[in-house]
Structure 1
Amino acid sequence: MSSSSKLDKDDGGQSVDITAYRGLIGSLLYLIASRPDIQFAVGVFGRFQTNAKLSHFTVVKRILKYLKGTQNVGLWFLKDSRFNLTSYSDADYVGCKIDRKSTSETCQFLGDRPIFWFS
């Protein structure tokens, strides 16, 4: 996803078919299990499912074009690889002395490979 792209509600934009937009987002959400490189962009544009505009639909189609050009990229799991799921997490509730915000982190491994992280 380009860092120069503007992300907004685009209230004045042309509306698109919500069913088609939601279908594309749903398919991409299913795909992020093996393609974590699109996870952020799909999450961002999933926020606009209730009132999708043509500008959002255009970017989602750009994600599909990216996927078409990078079909050999992704997570590959061998048949004989270990599938032990290990998860680590940490939380600091109301740990910041200034604004009393909490922080939490988690990291999950499938076998020896990290598959999900969040902070």
Structure 2
Amino acid sequence: MDNELFICQVYVDDIIFGSTNEEYCKGFGKMLCRLRSDTTVTSSQPSLNYKASPKVSQEGTFIYQEKYTRDLLKRSKMDDCKSIETPMATNTKLDPDESGIKVDQTFYRSMIGSLPYLCASRLDIMFSVCLCARFQADPRESHLTVVKRIIGYLKHTPSIGLWYPKDFAGCRVERKSTSGVATC
């Protein structure tokens, strides 16, 4: 259990659970099914990657979602898009843009709906994604342009992730671990 990693993310009515131990994933899925009769457990290729070489595992764990990012680029037909170095321009001001050109709501929602899952390991896009998500009811071309920029940024940075350092009894007073993390 020393080198095992557990990730759980809840987004609206979806739960993503992952672990480096496949048995824990299966057990968690069975537990959810017992709790709710309408629960469906699906398993696909892992979208959460885990790096822990012998040296790294002594120091901590790095999680990232490169495969999911590359799949997202393909699904949104943006795998040939220009790479962009920032998820949003510093002078971007999004508003309802009622006089702007409307875009297909289903298309916009499908693009923006794939991004919150990346926020589990990509806190650098969270602000931009949440800002764009506000305009799902009536998306305009200006909103879609920002979503496409976020995806262009993901193309530029597909393997960015989170580093969780190992911490055994980091608190010198109580000798408790201080490495617990919750991301929202």
TM-score range, shorter chain: 0.5 to 0.7
Letter in 2 for 1:2: A
* SS in structure 2 at match of 1:2: coil
* SS in structure 1 at match of 2:183: strand
1:97-119: CA deviations, max 9, x gaps? xxxxxxxxxxxxxx8264426xx
Query: Contact (CA 8 Å) 2:121, 2:161: kept in 1 or not?
Result: yes
Number of the residue aligned with 2:142: 55
Match of 1:44 among 124, 131, 152: 131
Gaps of 5+ in 1: 83-110
Query: Contact (CA 8 Å) 2:121, 2:162: kept in 1 or not?
Result: yes
TM-score (norm 1): 0.64
- In structure 2, the CA distance between the partners of 1:35 and 1:8, relative to structure 1 (3 Å rule), is same
- More relative contact order, 1 or 2 (CA 8 Å, 6+ apart): 2
Letter in 2 for 1:116: T
Tell me by how many angstroms 1:25 deviates. Answer: 1.1
Query: Contact (CA 8 Å) 1:34, 1:76: kept in 2 or not?
Result: no
Query: Contact (CA 8 Å) 2:120, 2:183: kept in 1 or not?
Result: no
How far apart are the structure 2 equivalents of 1:115 and 1:75?
A: 12
How far apart are the structure 2 equivalents of 1:115 and 1:3?
A: 27
Query: Contact (CA 8 Å) 1:45, 1:60: kept in 2 or not?
Result: yes
Work out whether 1:116 is the aligned partner of 2:169.
Answer: no
Number of the residue aligned with 2:102: 15
How far apart are the structure 2 equivalents of 1:64 and 1:41?
A: 11
How far apart are the structure 2 equivalents of 1:53 and 1:12?
A: 9
Aligned length: 87
Query: Contact (CA 8 Å) 1:15, 1:53: kept in 2 or not?
Result: yes
Q: Percent identity at matched positions?
A: 49
TM-score (norm 2): 0.43
Give the number of the structure whose residues are more often helix, by fraction. Answer: 2
**Runs of 4 or more above 3 Å deviation:** none
Tell me by how many angstroms 1:39 deviates. Answer: 0.4
Letter in 1 for 2:179: D
Letter in 2 for 1:66: Y
Match of 2:121 among 31, 34, 49: 34
Work out whether 1:73 is the aligned partner of 2:140.
Answer: no
